[in-house]
Amino acid sequence: MLADQNGWDEEKRQAISKGIDQVGNLFESLTAIGRLNYERGRHVANLILTKKAVAIGFANGTSEPQIIPAYLFDNDSSIKWAKSQVAGNGLHFVSVKVTKIRRSEPLPEIPVRAKTKARSKLGRRASSEIIDIIRVLNAEAPFGRLSRKSQTDSVIRYASEKLPERFPQGKGLHPSTVSRYLHQELGP
């Protein structure tokens, strides 16, 4: 319709059509390249997570390379492949290199400790324990009818009373953390 209104001849119409096709092909190529880069990054991260490869880099302020904890490669947003950087959990590594481990070669120990407060001591096991407590309490009839705040208080009280060695002085039992697990288990 635009060509008819402007009185374009067949040659101009073909040139415009060819240009549109080339732009479409360029867009498809860029999309394919982006997808390939993403899949390549996920493959390398999976090699690291499955201990078939190890990542080595320089932590900020250090002159010796260190083995990067594999869990940092579990989150795509913490990896910047183009800049050879990995950051997360209070750690930041630059000049990251990945090397495949030979079958006969044992995986070296990771000397870097995460810089977190309560989570470094409690970790994922604490989250599974909180979820278990929620499931136990949810089996009781009145728990499901309580308000979210009352449910949160019940979980904190139960954990403090039944597992004081696991949650000393209520550490790892922040109401927002417990509420997140309640939401996860019981829904909104």
Q: What secondary structure does DSSP assign to 126-151, as a single string?
A: HHHHHHHHHHHHHTSGGGGGS-HHHH
Compute the average pLDDT of residues 160-165: 79
Q: Is the pLDDT of residue 54 over 80?
A: yes
- The span from the CA of 33 to the CA of 110, in Å, is 34
How far apart, in Å, do the first and last CA atoms of the chain sit?
Answer: 52
Instruction: Count CA within 13 A, CB hemisphere, residue 122.
Output: 22
Q: Indicate the domain borders of the chain.
A: 1-112, 118-186
What length is written for the chain?
188
* Closest to 153 measured CA to CA, from 139, 134, 132: 134
The stretch 25-43 carries a mean pLDDT of: 77
Let me know: does 98 contact 44? Beta carbons within 8 Å: yes
pLDDT at 125 over 60: no
Q: Per residue in 103-123, pLDDT tens?
A: 655 555 555 455 544 444 445
* pTM of structure: 0.41
